[in-house]
Chains A and B, each alone.
Chain A
Amino acid sequence: MNTAQKTQAENKAAAPPLPGNVSAPAGKRPYASALGPIKSGGTIIGFALLVAAFGLMRPDVFLTFGNLRNVLEQVAILAIIAAVQTVVMVVGNFDLSVGATASVSGAVVAQLLIAGQGTAVAVAGALVVGALVGAVNGYLTAYLKLSAFVATLATMTSVSGLAFITTDGTTLFGLPQGFMSLGQGRWLGLPIPIFMAAAVALVVWFVLRNTTIGRRWHAVGGNAEVAKLSGVNVNRVRFLAFVVAGVGAALAGVVLTSRLASATATSGDSYMLLAIAAVFLGMTISKEGTANIGGTLIGVGILGVLSNGLNIIGVSTYVQQFLTGIIIIAAVAFSRLGNKGVS
């Protein structure tokens, strides 16, 4: 019926003969900046310098296998929490409740064990608690559209309260030996938490990179509006990221309880800020400035080496804390500096 119009339209379309591909001669690397390579490598170089500095100061202590193992053991739990925080931050949110979730899960596993449950049941119970907290966070942010800051700050507060209720404000101990091997046992001469952290990081890396949900996390984090209008179920994708964070935090709490052979209402709290700091440090190594698991691990490494090294050379924990803050600012500011010339 409209063939006549088509031919007419096509005739008009044939108007100016244009030569071949003309639009993008300069488009090869349009946003590359001179600072690019330094910027993305800066944090890694900083990490290397840090190791070298401590190594030079105390080669006898710092650069030993035993100390390396110590560092790894110290950061294992942080690495687990930071890995799942990475997922939430890839989606463009963050979760302030991971520390409190670790605390409450650690308390729950301890109470279940004390009540005579088997290790498997107790651990599963703790993970379910973590998943529930994550689900609440996810529901509030994804479906009720609360800001992640408000939602997770609120759950952090409530969950902290639950942790106190669970422990009754006391320190829970007297846990069975079988459970303790989770945090204190060794395999191939290395503490088991190291393997767990490595496994979590590997899984997160693989999921973020190669699975459909992982790619959707990236898409939503990059431009949620585009993702939504392309048919991605943005709410569900966000929701799942928070559930993952909850479960990961709970796992970390379980390992922590096992390692300490006890649980208190606040054991895991301090990991929240450190985990976010690690992810931020890690974001500085990606050109796009997005959260990424490799970077997060380097961030965790920096924080771990810093605390270990400063301990070895005898710096007080207060000064350590001060220096940690400065280092985070320096790393992030430096990477922003590199960004400025681009936009």
Chain B
Amino acid sequence: MTTTIQHVLEAEGITKHFDGVFALDGVDLRIRPGEIHALLGENGAGKSTLIKILTGVYSPDAGSIRVEAQPMAFKGVGAAHKAGVVALYQELSIVPNVSVAENIVLGDELPSRGGLVDWKELRRVARKQLERLNQGHIPVHRMAGRLTPVQQTMVAVARAIAVEAKVLILDEPTAALTDHEIQDLFRVLRSLRAEGVAILYVSHRLEEVFELCDRATIMRNGTVITTTEVADTTIDEVISTMVGRRQDELFPARGVPGPGTAVEVAGLSGRRVKDASFSVRPGEVLGIGGLAGSGRSELLRIIAGAQRSSSGRIVVDGQECSHRTVAAALDRGIALVPEERRSQGVVLSQSIGENIAVGNLKAISKWGLVAGSRIRSLASNSIAELQIKSRGHQQIVGQLSGGNQQKVVLAKYLARNPKVLLLDEPTRGIDVGTKSEIYGLIRRLATQGTAVIVVSSELPELIGLADRIILMHEGRISGEVPAEGADEEQLLTYCYGRAAS
């Protein structure tokens, strides 16, 4: 036999609709062994749906899948695993109440003898996977729910690479990771590629794609526009293919902060936050950077009343606040858009309209009665403003694509017109086109006098969006720089707690 298998995975004419609306329409995808293949597209383009079809979570309405030239009709994830197709799904996390080790071999046949779990073997396998990811310090016997969010993501990644796959699919694995873990992950992916594993990689961070991937397939509105060698294209070209038009300037022009102080924080301490002091002027956008676990999110949570402070003051509009609950903080005009949208930000089983309405009941009700028409108009405004790709405000949030769910969370808080808006990773998982819309929106709110504090792991985002940046290291503020003309290297040294030379 002289013909070699050129493609390890071939999907042809994949079509899928939900309630009469096409999510995928005749998608073709071919992946070669030993390549890292990027799957790109705007929020709602159909990437996650395609992945779920490739791994048997959904069955397609039409189309065929071949793995090593064998036709496959997957019934469930288990069957896909057997055929060597494994995925790490978007925003899928861990099982909190079982050990790290069990999370890593979950579903994969637990090592067992006669129905009894072989704990020793289980832990050995798990430890090996974590070590591959440079995460050997995570104790494998610990309950996974007690790990930090970053560690939980790494455990989920370890689970995906634990299965000996021919095709490994990763749907936005780096959305919740910081540079350090990302580089560890990339190292493993490259070595898997060298072993001949085919990797399908979804990400909205295009720099990452250009760093890692060999080829890219770009989708728009449920169809494939093109498949290209990454070396033959540019980020700008990819963006305009994705969006269907040319991308304008990503960041809006900076504004002029108003006089006075909107919020002031003095000597604030609490869990993971030590003695933080800073102030924000009305109309100013303050960026907060730092590594995962540096206390950025906790700082926001304390200001927003979601976590207690042990000492320190928060002063809003010249008045000291002693709020201890989120509701009280909201009454003072402080709103926090949380980091973990699925658990903290939206009710997945409710509609877009209902989700946005819950956060704004005062604005849309009179004498305790909620007016349906106001929910509709409020939701429709948000949908238009944030370009939430949906079938209207009645669509259930759980049916939206990951990025569009994030937009619903944003919409809920933006609609309140807060005096102080706290955003924790506002553009995580959001496509470039909408990112620039969100930046514009944040800037517009600032121009109207809102003080904005943005936490982000992406330094370019902080530099482009904020007026001023503070950096945190192990709970303390380790540096402050004006954003205009700031230099990533310099910000990084603050992140690592070293004074700039």
Contacts and interface: CB of A to CB of B under 8 A. Distances in A.
Task: Determine if chain A interacts with chain B.
Answer: yes
Interface of A: 1-2, 4-6, 8-10, 12-13, 16, 18-19, 21-27, 29-31, 210-215, 218-219, 221-223, 225-233, 287-288, 290, 341
A214 B110 CA distance: 11
10 contacts: A2-B32, A4-B231, A23-B292, A26-B474, A212-B110, A213-B115, A214-B117, A215-B102, A231-B80, A231-B107
Contacts of A218: 95, 97-98, 102
Given A23-B181, A214-B117, 8 more contacts: A5-B229, A24-B137, A26-B474, A27-B147, A30-B148, A218-B95, A231-B81, A233-B78
B298 to A, nearest CB: 9
A2 B492 contact: no
A21 B137 CA distance: 9
Which of A223, A229, A230, A232 lies at the interface centre, i.e. has the most chain B CB atoms within 10 A of its CB? A230
Given A2-B34, A226-B95, A210 B117 contact: yes
B498 to A, nearest CB: 9
Interface of B: 32, 34-35, 57, 76-78, 80-81, 87, 89, 92-98, 102, 106-110, 112, 115-117, 119, 134, 137, 143, 145-148, 150-151, 159, 178-181, 183, 186-187, 190, 193-194, 210-215, 229-231, 272, 291-293, 295, 308, 474-475, 489, 492, 496
Most buried by A among B87, B102, B213: B102
Given A2-B214, A22-B180, A29 B146 contact: yes
A179 B81 CA distance: 51
A288 B145 contact: yes
A175 to B, nearest CB: 36
B96 A229 contact: no
Nearest to B295: A26
A222 B146 contact: no
Nearest to B36: A9
Contacts of A230: 77, 106-108, 159
A233 B94 CA distance: 17
Contacts of B231: 4-5, 8
Contacts of B186: 13
A18 B180 contact: yes
A29 B151 CA distance: 12
B229 A22 contact: no
Nearest to B134: A21
Contacts of A6: 190, 193-194, 214
Contact of B77 (A8, A18, A210, A229): A229
A288 B77 contact: no
B107 A19 contact: no
Contacts of B492: 16
Nearest to A4: B231
Contacts of B137: 21, 24
Contact of A221 (B97, B106, B214): B97
Given A2-B214, A19-B496, A231-B77, A222 B95 contact: yes
A26 B272 contact: yes
Nearest to A233: B78
Contacts of A231: 76-78, 80-81, 106-108
A37 B491 CA distance: 40
* Residue among A31, A228, A229, A290 having the largest count of chain B Cβ atoms under 10 Å: A229
Nearest to B93: A226
Contacts of B116: 210-212
B496 A22 contact: yes
Contacts of B108: 230-231
Contacts of B147: 27, 30
A288 B146 CA distance: 9
Given A30-B147, A210-B116, A231-B107, A23 B97 contact: no
Nearest to A286: B97
Contacts of B145: 31, 222, 288
B97 A9 contact: no
A215 B211 contact: no
Contacts of B213: 9
Contacts of B117: 210-212, 214-215
Contacts of A26: 148, 272, 293, 295, 474-475
Contact of A227 (B107, B110, B194, B214): B107
Contacts of A223: 93-96
Contacts of A222: 95-98, 145
Contacts of A233: 76, 78
A25 B106 contact: no
Q: List 6 A-B pairs, minimum CB-CB distance, nearest first.
A: A230-B107, A231-B107, A222-B95, A222-B97, A27-B148, A231-B78
A116 B76 CA distance: 49
A21 B181 CA distance: 9
Nearest to A14: B183
A197 B302 CA distance: 49
Contacts of A10: 190
Nearest to A209: B117
Contact of A219 (B102, B183, B293, B474): B102
Contacts of A213: 115
B92 A229 contact: yes
A219 B214 CA distance: 36
A73 B130 CA distance: 49
